[in-house]
């Protein structure tokens, strides 16, 4: 590919979203506003990188077939130096987009980084914004110009703006901090909360990684995890005629009062004598949801005292999942999942009726399995209980709005993870393992491996493989037997697990898996295993008769998303072309051993053979996050076939 040396740049212009954020920052902190402009193209490029990577991986508009990987020295007079370059053509437009490749990994994944360039008629033009790439996609295939492409365009603009916002904040906050991320976390009062707050770039491959539609810049800074601000929960009482609730081990209110010291007394003190607490249920509402939704859409219930605000101090902090909040250690109050009418990543993050209803029911089933199945008793991996859930429900509401109103007000109470952590352990969200500090190029995962290597006095490669094998085994030994024996596919991706690390050795000590909202269950298999599902919510999406759906959920979350990200991170850092294959061999070998054990058990042999064939098939389904956004498929997943690193 030859071209003239001519790199053009358009005039520097802020988008509408960027201008709003910049104007806010000018009044808040001129230094931050200047840093925002400085980081502008870094933020835009990180979203463009996710979009271009998914374009290739998903073969959207034939991009996989229309791509070439070319050494940069074969591109005469190009802006690329000393790297391989991904060149993706749009044939009908005689247009090519080019990017430096930072890694090539399993599942047809290519990681790229900016700056990006268009090449047309031998001229290189700097890509200014990810929406330029979206325009090329829609021009190449006009059939994608449906009702949702405009929304996706807005999403990319919003996401790029918030990526810049967080990058600029982190650059200012840590510009004097020379510590590695591991040492920084170890110096915090609450290492786990800080690990969640450290994942500032969001989803590693989703082009809507930093989407915050529905909030102003000030609200984003106040409530998003990366800014670390304290959030005061809003407690309300809701008349029991307007709630549906579920709890495990005790009545709903009794569990909530046990979780929050002094709450019951505070409520009794505030209630007029004419109102009986026994007629009401406690609900917690996100302060953004309280001001933006409750006070406007539930004004009738407020005026009639069917909903009563309660003054009670409970300082919490947002986790990586915007709607999941937690106290700061040593406060051991529960983690709480709340409804927020904010569009984040791929969907609006309200709380479905099935989530609050089924959480305690799934807890009961998983705890029973962990207590009674000898396989699970021996593991160092456990599920995190969801003790209680509640949502608003008004039978008198019109059917057209009933579900929407129910999902806008809901609370789910989850066990605080510090109940499982000793003084010599470091709890981390695995999403943070692939993160580096602002001043260091070493991912947290590699820091842990290096500590393990030092403690074990082993060779580097041996330490890498040993550390990873112990970690992968802890995850696989829980998720895969649960899938095979009971038909339960947990959504055990990086964000839904907790890695508890031995501080001395750097090795995994134990693992926790949380959040049952997105799991899938082969209802027939679970019933055959002795667990009833008739009491699950009538709208439960988690119950299915599709074995493929259940398998895909387990494989995507655990193998592709979770272990796949760790493998890619390790291989990229050590720049060893054989290391990634060796890491995948560990996963393949261990799953093979599990399947061999299953074959000698009393389990259905044909079912095991079918699942084994799926695991080791030469090609595997991969979820198409960008295609799904263009088609507006939040729940009906779209897949593409990609090469499977577990193939025999």
pLDDT digits (tens, 9 = 90+) for 496-521: 999 999 999 999 999 999 999 999 99
Which percentage of the chain shows pLDDT scores above 70?
97
How sure is the predictor about 400, in pLDDT bands with cuts at 50, 70 and 90? confident
| 422-616 and 7-175 share a CATH fold | no
Q: Is the pLDDT of residue 4 over 60?
A: no
Of the ranges 2-16, 111-125, 619-633, the best mean pLDDT one: 111-125
How sure is the predictor about 224, in pLDDT bands with cuts at 50, 70 and 90? very high
pLDDT of residue 8: 37
pLDDT of residue 363: 98
pLDDT of residue 213: 85
How sure is the predictor about 195, in pLDDT bands with cuts at 50, 70 and 90? very high
The pLDDT tens digits for 561-604 are 999 999 999 999 999 879 999 999 999 999 999 999 999 888 89
Q: Both tokens of residue 391?
A: 């949502």
Q: pLDDT averaged over the chain?
A: 93
User: Domain segments of the chain: what residues?
Assistant: 7-175, 234-313+334-366+385-415, 422-616
For range 134-156, the mean pLDDT? 89
How sure is the predictor about 441, in pLDDT bands with cuts at 50, 70 and 90? confident
For range 401-407, the mean pLDDT? 92
Q: How far apart are CA 326 and CA 361, in angstroms?
A: 22
Pick the CATH number of 7-175 from 3.40.640.10, 3.40.30.10, 3.40.50.300, 3.30.310.280: 3.30.310.280
Report yes or no: 245 and 195 within 8 Å, Cβ to Cβ: no
Report yes or no: 594 and 618 within 8 Å, Cβ to Cβ: no
For range 472-490, the mean pLDDT? 98
Q: Is the pLDDT of residue 3 over 50?
A: no
pLDDT of residue 344: 76
CA distances 611 to 267, 482, 527, 554, 594, Å, are 53, 12, 18, 11, 12
Q: Is the pLDDT of residue 145 over 90?
A: no
pLDDT of residue 196: 97
Q: Both tokens of residue 288?
A: 């953004």
pLDDT of residue 211: 85
The pLDDT tens digits for 62-82 are 999 999 999 999 998 889 988
For range 270-293, the mean pLDDT? 95
DSSP 8-state class, residue 424: T
For range 35-39, the mean pLDDT? 96
pLDDT of residue 635: 52
Report yes or no: 386 and 358 within 8 Å, Cβ to Cβ: no
How sure is the predictor about 1, in pLDDT bands with cuts at 50, 70 and 90? very low
Residue 429: name the closest of 438, 413, 417 by CA.
417
Q: How far apart are CA 337 and CA 411, in angstroms?
A: 6
Residue 547: name the closest of 604, 489, 507 by CA.
489
Q: Is the pLDDT of residue 5 over 50?
A: no
Fold classification of 422-616 is Transferase(Phosphotransferase); domain 1 (1.10.510)
């Amino acid at each position: 590919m030859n071209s003239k040396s001519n790199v053009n740049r358009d005039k520097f212009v802020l988008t509408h979203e960027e201008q709003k954020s910049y104007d806010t920052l000018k009044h808040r902190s001129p230094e931050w506003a200047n840093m925002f402009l400085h980081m502008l193209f870094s933020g835009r490029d990180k979203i463009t990188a996710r979009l271009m990577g998914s374009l290739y991986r998903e073969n959207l508009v034939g991009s996989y077939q229309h791509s070439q990987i070319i050494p940069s020295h074969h591109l005469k007079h190009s802006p690329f130096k000393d790297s391989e370059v991904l060149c993706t053509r749009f044939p009908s437009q005689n247009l090519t987009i080019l990017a430096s490749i930072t890694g090539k990994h399993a599942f047809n994944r290519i990681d790229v980084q900016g700056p990006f360039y268009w090449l047309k008629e031998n001229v290189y033009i700097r890509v200014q914004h990810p929406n330029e790439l979206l325009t090329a996609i829609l021009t190449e295939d006009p059939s994608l110009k449906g009702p949702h492409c405009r929304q996706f365009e807005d999403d990319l603009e919003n996401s790029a703006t918030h990526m810049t916002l967080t990058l600029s904040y982190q650059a200012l906050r840590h510009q004097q901090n020379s510590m590695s991320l591991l040492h920084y976390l170890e110096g915090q009062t609450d290492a786990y909360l800080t690990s969640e707050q450290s994942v500032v770039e969001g989803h590693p491959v989703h082009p809507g990684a930093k989407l915050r539609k529905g909030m102003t810049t000030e609200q984003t800074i106040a409530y998003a995890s990366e800014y670390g601000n304290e959030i005061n929960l809003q407690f309300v009482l809701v008349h029991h005629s307007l709630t549906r609730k579920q709890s495990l081990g005790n009545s709903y209110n009794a569990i909530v009062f046990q979780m929050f010291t002094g709450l019951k007394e505070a409520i009794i003190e505030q209630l007029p004598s004419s109102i009986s607490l026994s007629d009401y249920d406690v609900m917690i509402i996100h302060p953004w949801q309280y001001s933006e939704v409750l006070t406007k859409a539930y004004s009738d219930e407020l005026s009639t005292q069917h909903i009563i605000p309660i003054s009670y101090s409970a300082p919490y902090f947002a986790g990586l999942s915007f709607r999941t909040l937690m106290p700061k250690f040593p406060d051991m109050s529960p983690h709480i999942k709340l409804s927020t009418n904010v569009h984040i990543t791929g969907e609006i993050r309200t709380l479905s009726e099935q989530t609050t209803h089924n959480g305690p029911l799934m807890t009961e089933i998983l705890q029973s399995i962990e207590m009674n199945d000898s396989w699970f008793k021996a593991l160092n991996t456990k599920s995190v209980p969801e003790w209680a859930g509640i949502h608003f429900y008004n039978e008198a509401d019109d059917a057209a709005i009933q579900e929407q109103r129910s999902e806008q007000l809901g609370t789910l109470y989850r066990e605080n993870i510090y109940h499982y952590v000793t003084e010599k352990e470091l709890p981390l969200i695995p999403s943070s393992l692939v993160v580096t500090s602002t001043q260091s190029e070493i991912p947290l995962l590699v820091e842990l491996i290096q500590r393990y290597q030092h403690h074990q006095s082993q060779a580097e490669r041996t330490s890498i493989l040993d550390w990873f094998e112990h970690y992968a085994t802890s995850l696989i030994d829980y998720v895969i037997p649960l899938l095979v024996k009971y038909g339960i596919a947990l959504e055990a991706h990086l964000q839904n697990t907790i890695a508890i690390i031995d501080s001395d050795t750097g090795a995994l000590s134990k693992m926790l898996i949380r959040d049952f909202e997105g799991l899938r269950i082969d209802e027939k298999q679970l019933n055959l295993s002795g667990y009833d599902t008739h009491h699950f919510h009538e709208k439960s999406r988690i119950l299915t008769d599709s074995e493929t759906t259940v398998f895909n959920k387990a494989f995507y979350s655990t193998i592709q998303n979770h272990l796949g990200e760790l493998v890619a991170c390790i291989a990229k850092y050590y720049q060893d072309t054989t290391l990634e294959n060796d890491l995948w061999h560990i996963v393949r070998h261990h799953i093979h051993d599990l399947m061999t054990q299953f074959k000698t058990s009393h389990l259905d042999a044909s079912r095991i053979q079918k699942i084994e064939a799926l695991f080791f098939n030469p090609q595997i389904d991969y979820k198409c996050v960008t295609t799904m956004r263009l088609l507006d498929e939040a729940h009906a997943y779209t897949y593409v076939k990609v090469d499977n690193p577990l193939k025999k």
